[in-house]
Amino acid sequence: MQKTAQQIELEKLTKRITTRFHKACADYGLIADGDRILVGLSGGKDSLALVELLGKRQRIHVPRFSVVAAHVIVENIGYQSDTEYLKKFCEEQGVEFYVKTTSYDSPVHQFPDSPVPQQKNHCFLCSWYRRKALFDLAKELGCNKLALGHHKDDIVQTLLMNLVYQGAFATIPPSLKMEKFPMTLIRPLCLLTEEDLKRYAELRNYRKVPKLCPFETESSRADVKRLVNQLKQLNPNVLDSVWGAMENIKTGYLPDKVK
C-alpha cells in the first residue's frame, strides 16, 4: 500500500527530530546510567514530545535510566489542562505520571530566601512555583535530573532577553547542575526548532491545552519571540547563527576584527 504524503512527511520529520534529540543527549552528556529523570509536563507540544522521546529512549537500555513525568497545576492562574489525557499519553509511552498542585497569592510576594517582600510579575512567580514543585516532587521520587522542554528557539530568545533587558550575554544551558539542590536540569530538545516540534505535534495529533495562560502574550518573551520571527525574515538561519555565536563564546573563540 502506497504511503500518503503526510505519512512520508511524518517519517522524515521523526527521523530529523530523533537524530537531533540523540545528538543533544550525546554532545552535552544529558543522560547517564542510573539516572532517574522527572519530566516537567506542561501539556504543550514541547513537553509532550519530550515525554515521547525519553520514553522511547529508556527502552533502548543503553544507558539504562528511568523516566517519570509530572504536571504542576498553579491553582490561581486561569488556564486549564486535561490531566486525564496527559495520564493516558504517559501510559502509552511507558512513563509514570504525577500531578502536583501549588499556588501563590499576589505579584508582591515573600520568597523564602529574601528578607523583604518582592514585586514580581505573574510569569516569574508561576515559573518559580512550578519549578519549586517539580524540585520537591523530584526529591520525593528519588530523581536526580529534571528534564524541561525548552527548544532552540527558547534558548535563543532567552539570550536576546538577557542582552536587551539585563545587558548580559547569557542563556539557559542544555545542562545545569543546581547549587542549592542535588539536581541537574537538562534540556534534551535544545537542538530542535519550534517549527519542527509544532509540525510534529500536528502530524502526531497531540491534543492542545484546553485553555492557555491568560498572561501568555503579555510577557517580555512574547515580544522577543516576535523579534526573532522578524529576524528570520532577514535570515532564515538566524537560530543557527546565534547558536554558533554562543558556542564560539563558550569555547573562547572570537572572530578576527574586520580590517
> What are the residue boundaries of the structural domains of the chain, listed by start?
5-216
Taking the C-alpha atoms of 85, 31, 72 and 112 in order, what is their torsion angle to the nearest 10 degrees?
A: 180
How far is residue 244's CA from residue 141's CA, in Å, rounded to a whole number? Answer: 37
220 close to 161: Cβ distance less than 8 angstroms: yes
Label the pairing between strands 66-74 and 96-102: parallel
76 Cβ neighbours under 8 A, 6+ residues apart: 103, 104, 105
For residue 154, give the amino acid letter.
D
50 close to 89: Cβ distance less than 8 angstroms: no
* CA-angle at 191, arms to 172 and 45, nearest 5°: 85
pLDDT in tens, 52-76: 999 999 999 889 999 999 999 887 7
Neighbours of 115 (CB within 10 A): 6
At 129 the pLDDT is: 83
Label the pairing between strands 184-186 and 145-147: parallel
pLDDT tens for the chain, 259 residues: list them: 788 999 999 999 999 999 999 999 999 999 999 999 999 999 999 999 999 999 999 999 889 999 999 999 887 776 778 899 999 999 999 999 999 988 776 655 455 555 444 556 666 777 788 888 999 999 999 999 999 999 999 999 999 998 888 888 888 999 999 887 789 999 999 999 999 999 999 999 999 876 566 555 556 788 899 999 999 999 999 999 999 888 877 655 444 433 3
91 close to 63: Cβ distance less than 8 angstroms: no
Query: Residue 156: enclosing H or E segment and its boundaries?
Result: helix 152-161
pLDDT in tens, 163-188: 888 888 888 999 999 887 789 999 99
Query: Residue 101: enclosing H or E segment and its boundaries?
Result: strand 96-102
Nearest to 17 by CA among 54, 62, 43, 42: 54
Identify the CATH assignment for 5-216 out of 3.40.1280.10, 3.30.1490.20, 3.40.50.620, 3.40.50.2300: 3.40.50.620
Burial of 96 (0-12, 13-18, 19+ CB in 10 A): middle
